[in-house]
Amino acid sequence: MTAILFDGIVQGLQLSLLAVGITLIYGLGGVLNLAHGQFAVVGGVAAALLLQLGINPVLASLGGIASAGALGFAVDRTLLLPAYRYRGEERLLLGLILTLGFSFVIDGLLNWKFPEFSLTFQLRVPLVELGGISMRTASLAASLIALAVFAALFAFLKLTLLGKSIRSIIENEVGAELCGIDPSRTRTLIVCLAAMMAGVAGVTQGLFSSLGAEMGPEFTILGLLVAVVGGVRSINGTLAAGILLGIVNAFASHYVGAYVAYIILLSFAMATILVRPAGLLARFT
Amino acid sequence: MKKYADIGALTLVLALVPAAAGGSPYYLRLATLALVYMAWTVAFNLIFGHTKQLFLCLNALAGTAGYVAVVMAKQLDWSPWLTVPIGVAAAAGLGALFSYVSVLRGLGVIFVGIVTLAFSLIFHNLVLGLRQLTNGETGLVTRGLGFPLLEQPLPSYYIFLAALLAALLVYHWLMSSKSGMAFRALSDDELTAELSGIDVTRYKVLAAAVASAILGLTGALFAFYNGIVSPSVFSFVGIDIPVLIALLLGGMRTRLGPIVGAVAFALIEELVRPWGQLNVLVYGVLLIVLFTTFREGMVPVLKQAFQAFPALARRLRPPPAFGSKPDN
Amino acid sequence: MLVRVEALYAGYGATPVLRDVSLEAQPGEAIAVIGPNGAGKTTLLKAIVGMLRPTSGTVRYEDRYLTALRAYQVARLGLVYVPAERELFPTMTVLENLELGAYRNVRAAALQLGYIFGLFPRLKERSRQLAGTLSGGEQQMLAIGRALMGGPKVLLLDEPSTGLAPKAVAELYRNLSQLKSAGLTIIVTEQQVRLALSLTDRAYVLEQGSVRLSGRSSDLLGDPSIKKAYLGVA
């Protein structure tokens, strides 16, 4: 029972990493990034390529994460430019279609160049004992990494001026501009950060499971579901939603099967949109 | 009578295609598939082009009708003449339901997209999960269920042509009636339309129901024609994306745009076939390029070329552009 | 002069609002823009600070043209706008709101904070409170305080007295006078005409998008047409 719970939390944290990125890009950039999962995959692929070159795993992972960030930068500065020329719903729609198209482009490229790709990290100590429960070191490590990233993110947003400016733009872009804050520069930064967090998710996927080149769309969907349930404008809500849905998914998969579990998650998302669009777990609208 | 001239001409041209295909079963099947996608694109034009409802569940709507019709025929031994209408009703009901709830809850385009995308995935997983009924990934054979005409290539082509004709006529009747004016007002500015007394809910739901019925009818027929129905027959990448591209290619909110677009897409598909897996990449590039440049589609561009033929040009005239002026 | 608007035409989409509006403000002056609802007062302010692109005409600040700049660039140059909606950050604290106001000039932030708390002691009391939980008057103070945090040279306020109790309005204008004597240039739009005219040096009367009248505020107070149209009952 606790094993399932723990598994759910680990998976959930991973989904949160993806979902927070989607939330940030939506809140700041006004774009629903349907290619977000691809940042994770590209990060993992880059890390694997670096590993093949003989670079040590930690550096290779960092390299992968940096690559994801670079891709994010490129996407914000090129692909999304047409979307940024508009506001509100039109930007959303244009951004959605552009990122959808981009997701297909990456998917096609990756599956063509790396058809049998799989990234897995092997740890020297496979199992570890904690408080009487033995768990896979990989899962523990993945969770700790995710938690560390979140802690860093919260500290950044809460304590630094740059972080506060990001929150201010999400909250009220007009007000932020009146304070002299340049939304588009900040937005590029956020897209990079979001992409890097996705990169972390991709690399840690290789840690406690394995990452395949075709997982992009799946990551995007799961991240999107979590972001929706947590509230596409709420970062706290997204973190909570990820853990919640991760646990729900773990238990549902175990007791009723993978398909029904997926349907439950999807229903959560649909219910949220129809009943409480600001997010089931969001504190503020 | 003049109003039907273009539809009539089109039907005539399409009716002659099998002769041009020279009896090659491969090309006949391609042409039949093109007809199916044309009908689906006409439907999407109604939902997305005219009433701005971003339904990303076309595959689920068509697939629901398909699976309902086939499973009922298999399990209950009912004739397709009965099960297909039931399937269509199911699809139309679902489409209307999603539309109604979305308007009721005041969902923006994006959230409608997410909800319908979720539905599309639920459909996929339901089909896989209800393995006793649907045979999961492997699918069901749809031969010998009481629809012999759809098991022969040439009659099938004409059945789908009839379905497409029906779709075009329904579209024409809708657009030339009060509903058409409502749609035009809606797609321009929903708030203003509502304030001028147009029952936005009613027209959006109407558009969704009619479009879903078209999707369902064609989908159910396709299930029988295809010989096999499985999740991959009604997949998101296989249906929603091509239809979206086709509509963008042909021109949103135009009469024959969906036809032109579907043909153009079919040609592109053929060109890209030898590249195998990379076709997905082409879809992506098309989406990006089309949505940033030819927002109104190819038909308006062709319209300029046809300026010398005023009558034809009038037929192809697109209404006001989607999207307002960029600011700054 | 510090701010000069010349022959400005502006509007929203196809609807023109401002027609051939010209205005100027000297350093340390307080200018009022008065007129009925819908006259274009807000549109004028928005056009000056870059929230709206004018269809023709120019806005000059010192020796620069502002007409092509974005709102955040204008703010960084020292022209800060306090809109009628205030546009605060409701889930952030008073302190955080103020900090963000100093975004363009972080070095001066600490000093400015002391000054602003001196000006609005109520804000100091509530510094850790969330901006969304403040009263209308306090939010107005916060909006102005935030605008002042960057050490602006020109302050533009859109109907700052709206929704405020008379006592709060009096306090607000007292503070504005103080700021004026400290060298700040103020452009304020108001519906409360008597108030606006008694506290400013010069005024422009905007009606249906054009400047109908302008001059020294004290002169306008005594003008018979103004008295009839705006001061009759007030």
Pairwise CA distance, residues C84 & C164, whole Å: 12
Angle at CA of residue B178, ends B176 and B179, nearest 5°: 85
- Whether residue C53 lies within 8 A of chain B, CB to CB, comes out as yes
pLDDT of residue C108: 74
Closest Cβ opposite residue C106 in set A161, A177, A183: A161
pLDDT of residue C229: 78
In angstroms, the CA A181 to CA C89 distance is 13
Q: Which amino acid is at A70?
A: A
Q: Strand C202-207 vs strand C3-12: parallel, antiparallel, or unpaired?
A: unpaired
Q: How far is CA C40 from CA C9, C32, C55, C161, in A?
A: 11, 13, 14, 18
- Residue A111 pLDDT class (50, 70, 90 cuts): confident
Q: Is the pLDDT of residue B316 over 80?
A: no
Q: Which residues, 6+ apart, have CB-to-CB distance to C87 below 8 Å?
A: A172, A174, A175, A178, C143
Q: What is the mean pLDDT of chain B?
A: 86
Please tell me the predicted confidence (pLDDT) of residue A77.
Answer: 92
| Residue B152, burial from CB neighbour count under 10 angstroms (0-12, 13-18, 19+) | exposed
Dmax (CA) for chain A in angstroms is 57
Q: What percent of chain B has pLDDT over 90?
A: 47
> Of B114, B122, B125, which has the smallest distance from its Cβ to A228's Cβ?
B114
Q: Identify the band that residue B304 occupies on the pLDDT scale cut at 50, 70 and 90.
A: low
The B-side interface with A (CB below 8 A) comprises: 54, 101, 105, 107-111, 113-115, 117-119, 121-122, 125-126, 128-129, 241, 244, 277-288, 291-292, 323-324, 326-328
- Say whether residue C144 is in contact with chain A using an 8 A CB cutoff: no
Please indicate whether residue B148 or residue B294 has the higher confidence score (pLDDT).
Answer: B148
Give the pLDDT confidence score for residue A285 in this predicted structure. 35
Band of pLDDT at residue B327, cut at 50, 70 and 90:
very low
Instruction: Check CB contact under 8 Å for C53 and B325.
Output: no
- The pLDDT value recorded for residue A137 is 79
Question: Confidence band (pLDDT; 50, 70, 90) for A123?
Answer: low
CB C94 within 8 A of CB C116: no
pLDDT score, position A282 = 60
In this complex, the residue of C72, C83, C96 whose CB is nearest that of residue A180 is C72
3-state SS of chain C? CCEEEEEEEEEECCEEEEEEEEEEECCCCEEEEECCCCCCHHHHHHHHHCCCCCCEEEEEECCEECCCCCHHHHHHHCEEEECCCCCCCCCCEHHHHHHHHCHHHHHHHHHHHHHHHHHCHHHHHCCCCEHHHCCHHHHHHHHHHHHHCCCCCEEEEECCCCCCCHHHHHHHHHHHHHHHHCCCEEEEEECCHHHHHHHCCEEEEEECCEEEEEEEHHHHHHCHHHHHHHCCCC
Average pLDDT over residues B304-322: 54
Compare all CA atoms of chain C with the CA of B325 and give the residue at the minimum distance.
Answer: C13
Which one, of C143, C100, C103, lies nearest residue C123 by Cα?
C143
Q: What's the alpha-carbon Rg for chain A, to the nearest Å?
A: 18
Average pLDDT over chain A reads 88
Lowest mean pLDDT among A143-157, B197-211, C84-98, C152-166: C152-166
Sheet holding C64-65, edge to edge: C15-25, C3-12, C56-61, C64-65
Distance CA B273, CA C115 (A): 71
pLDDT of residue B298: 54
Minimal C-alpha gap between C190 and chain A (Å)? 20
Question: What pLDDT, on the 0 to 100 scale, is given for residue C231?
Answer: 72
* A112/B110 touch (CB, cutoff 8 Å), yes or no: no
Q: Is the pLDDT of residue A283 over 90?
A: no
List of chain C residues whose C-beta atoms are within 8 Å of the C-beta of residue A183: 72
Per-residue model confidence (pLDDT) at position C202 = 92
* Residue A274: predicted pLDDT: 85
Determine the residue type at A89.
Answer: E
Chain A positions touching B105 (Cβ under 8 A) are 273-274, 277
- Distance between CA atoms of A252 and A264, rounded to whole angstroms? 8
In this prediction, residue A159 has a pLDDT band, given cuts at 50, 70 and 90, of very high
Mark yes or no for CB contact A178/C104 under 8 Å.
Answer: no
Asked if the model's pLDDT at residue B307 lies above 70, the reply is: no
Provide, as residue numbers in chain A, all residues whose Cβ is less than 8 Å from the Cβ of C69.
none
Q: What is the mean pLDDT of each run of 10 residues along chain C (234 residues)?
A: 85 86 90 88 92 91 89 92 92 92 81 83 89 88 90 91 79 82 88 83 90 88 80 57
pTM: 0.84
pLDDT at A2 over 60: yes
Instruction: Compute the distance between CA of residue B212 and CA of residue B280 in angstroms, rounded to an integer.
Output: 26
Contact A178 C71 (CB under 8 A): yes
Which residues of chain A lie closer than 8 angstroms to C91, CB-CB? 171, 284
Say yes or no to pLDDT of A51 above 50.
yes
Q: For residue range B53-97, list pLDDT tens digits in order.
A: 999 999 999 999 999 999 999 888 888 899 999 999 999 999 999
- Smallest CA–CA distance from A35 into chain B, residue: B284
